[in-house]
Chains A and B, each alone.
Chain A
């Protein structure tokens, strides 16, 4: 395959970036998208040019590091996968591909396609945990039975990989799917009840502080989420927030 790549290049967070065009040949349809970028980088290195920086690690769709906006879609054209699971057979010979970083006010660009998603960490610091000591002196794991449906729903919410595709996709750069998933996981489990009110208020406050936008129910985040996290989680978070505000 022969491709034209239009890639966002930006030296660091202080300088302005721009789209730079590259041509690349001999791409096999069996390559993953990131392997295609590896090939480009290998060529750039030998030409004494700066290779394109992008975040990646596990390359099997679970660590949440990779984060490209490909032809206007977070994680590219395929569904329910991350960029590292995208393969070149989804493109045609001669295609032009635009590759940009995940863009949001709360995700400043570090270099090229690498963005700073530490805002997500700070939201988790504000309440993404259950306050239990790790001494191992807790009660037996089976002492509180949990309804299977609730446990399954909590699991589905907990499979969020924190990649930020929801934020990049949302026209408001809202992080409500991400925060909703964490709030939901704990609100569905008996262990999470004690701190439920405090948790949701703190996490939503921190989310606002970080500069994420609000939700206007377009549902784009759910479509682009590589793990298929459901919009129900946003609804559940709003209910939890409402309950918490009344209690307060």
Chain B
């Protein structure tokens, strides 16, 4: 590759004729990449961060002797031209794509994997990367955005190592990050149960569960550090469940054959997050973490190609602030709220990750979304969020819908109760379709089967989107067992029912109470109604082995990155990944990058780049409060959610995805025209915060649909109707064994695809079957 292929150009976002001379446009560096195989030339554009007015642009710059693209009519032309030239000089193509291979897309990504055998890689890597001495760490600042399990644990460890940490969260306290809502547990390869668990098994289960779309090396490292997480948390006072001998208890979870899940009743996420929060508190008290509550990140600032800070808005008084640091870490969670309705918290958003994407970080596998089968169904248009019922319920509950449509109608208009439908008139569709795994098929499979029945008109509530989860047979089974054990009359139905309900209450009491509060029905007497809902996003910002994005100095950890769960996440693995990244991976790998910065000194936050990003952010806020449109932010968010759910949800096809792309793009235009944000920008204004978030969802949604469209296979949570077997199962394709990493170049649908090849040397790629 030679730099001769580099040119400057303006980043037009609409036809040239539609611009005025006084319009300001971003200047890009263009790189013409020729693929040897197809002989086609691709243009890769990279934003320079410098803008100029159309009238000041010299389109014949390459013919002039100075080769300066900005005319002297621009007041800062000298400075700007110099920066542009420097950018070209320092533009390192090799860093961007380490090995351009002969293919039709632009490049393969280099994930900087360490050498050596799989089980030695992490150790070797730690032994060979550069370190920062304790004395120098004192002079280095790190910004961490988000304080959930990943962000909170990263803040604590970085501060403890000696870095100056600035932590940001939009909630009023780090303790309220949405990691707190995780219920089930956290996996760790401790093998306390002696059931043959090992690092390799956890690694194997995770890669297989992810349908062979995750990076082998990252997953192995995750499995390797998992045991340490439990040690660490116990030392911090996390009250995990214990047995009567005083030792830690385990439960088992979906998709695995061992008991490796540690838990604290149904509140494991809460306990782990409060553990990380306590570790943060210790460092806040020492002054090593400066905590910014109720602050939202609006943009990331790139100086000389490196992430050097962020722009934030204080949500209490509306003040826009510039914060600088030597590196920026995003721990901002997933983007499930692009669907409007999900099990995510109301405030969960993609803004930080999306802004990073727009500044040059590639976004990987956006279409890999987990839709959890057992959530409480939507009850009406007013619904603001969905509530999860733990996966563990499927151990004892049987899922069914009526066999006859007439019964469905009667149930919907209330003339009969579900308990009045005879066994022979019920369709236990999971047991029918998957006799081997029955009700315990993995999440993606169970969700699709429920949707199929509801689409066929068998949904059992007013909206037609619910199936039954019935505990009657479990109650009878447990009741009979108990009657036998306690020597009571096992032919008396009343006794059996009472005893059986007691057992169910012991196992699932808190979930049953939660259900009753929301739905106002007693699940001991009548079957629960459930329906799938968006729960977790496996996709996210692309990162290399060091968890660094494609922007130097910008890191992404936890759910915000893409690396460990492939196309489907196993239960109890999200907590494990968040804490592994934050406590044990990032704090070490970041040193390798920061070791070059020991003599940089403090980063100024009043340079041109910071001021430009600040102005841009302020202009957007200004726009929202002054755009007296006719529709609220929620109107657009709900509409986007409907498009996403109907066309990019549990089952996708080419036609729907194409129409989703155009509908979202249309909706986005309408949003910018018609959005109405009440109040002022210099005050507590939740609608204003929401407007910024929804604006980003409206862009992400389009990329999501594009990614789903281009991935012409079915795998994990991504199911394309065109790619299924006769029995309706997913057809995975070998040629799609790669990570799709998208580069932003303007309209999301024009994003450029980069690939990371996934190679499995330590695991055999097999077909998943649950028949």
Contacts and interface: CB of A to CB of B under 8 A. Distances in A.
Interface of A: 11-12, 28, 30-32, 34-35, 38-39, 42, 44-46, 48-51, 53, 55-65, 78, 80-81, 85, 87, 89, 110-111, 114, 116-118, 120-121, 124-126, 128-136, 138-142, 145-148, 151-152, 154-155, 158-159, 161-162, 185-186, 189, 191-192
Contacts of A35: 382-384
Interface string B86-116: 0000000000000000000000000000000
Interface string B515-547: 001101000000000000000000000000000
Given A38-B384, A65-B171, A191-B234, 9 more contacts: A12-B683, A42-B634, A63-B177, A65-B172, A111-B684, A121-B175, A124-B277, A148-B243, A151-B240
A200 to B, nearest CB: 14
B281 A125 contact: yes
B interface bracket (residues with beta carbon within 8 Å of A): 35 or more
B648 to A, nearest CB: 24
Interface stretch (B223-231, B405-413, B758-766): B223-231
Given A56-B346, A148-B246, A159 B270 contact: yes
A60 B387 contact: yes
A118 B175 CA distance: 11
Contacts of A116: 172
A92 B279 CA distance: 46
Contacts of B584: 136
B327 interface: no
Interface in B375-410: 379-380, 382-385, 387-388
B518 A191 contact: no
B267 interface: yes
B278 interface: yes
Contact of A89 (B245, B246, B384, B520): B520
27 contacts: A11-B683, A30-B380, A35-B383, A35-B384, A44-B678, A50-B679, A53-B686, A57-B345, A59-B384, A59-B385, A62-B181, A62-B269, A63-B177, A87-B517, A121-B175, A126-B285, A130-B278, A139-B235, A141-B231, A141-B233, A145-B245, A145-B247, A148-B242, A151-B239, A154-B239, A155-B264, A189-B239
B244 to A, nearest CB: 5
A31 B293 CA distance: 30
B241 interface: yes
Contacts of B190: 141
Nearest to A49: B678
A interface, by DSSP: helix, strand, loop or mixed? loop
A14 B160 CA distance: 38
Contacts of A30: 379-380, 520
Contacts of B634: 38, 42
A103 B599 CA distance: 50
Nearest to A28: B380
A116 B156 CA distance: 24
A111 B264 CA distance: 36
Contacts of A48: 678
B248 A131 contact: no
B235 A191 contact: yes
A72 to B, nearest CB: 21
Nearest to A26: B382
Nearest to B587: A134
Most A Cβ at <10 Å: residue of B277, B281, B514: B281
B231 A151 contact: no
Nearest to B343: A60
B583 interface: yes
B173 interface: yes
A184 to B, nearest CB: 11
Between B173, B248, B271, B383, the greatest number of chain A beta carbons within 10 A of the residue's beta carbon is seen for: B173
A136 B588 CA distance: 13
Nearest to B582: A134
Instruction: Pick the most buried of B192, B239, B346, B382: most chain A CB atoms within 10 A of its CB.
Output: B239
A58 B181 contact: yes
A139 B231 contact: yes
Given A57-B171, A111-B683, A118-B293, A141 B230 contact: yes
Given A134-B153, A136-B232, A31 B382 contact: yes
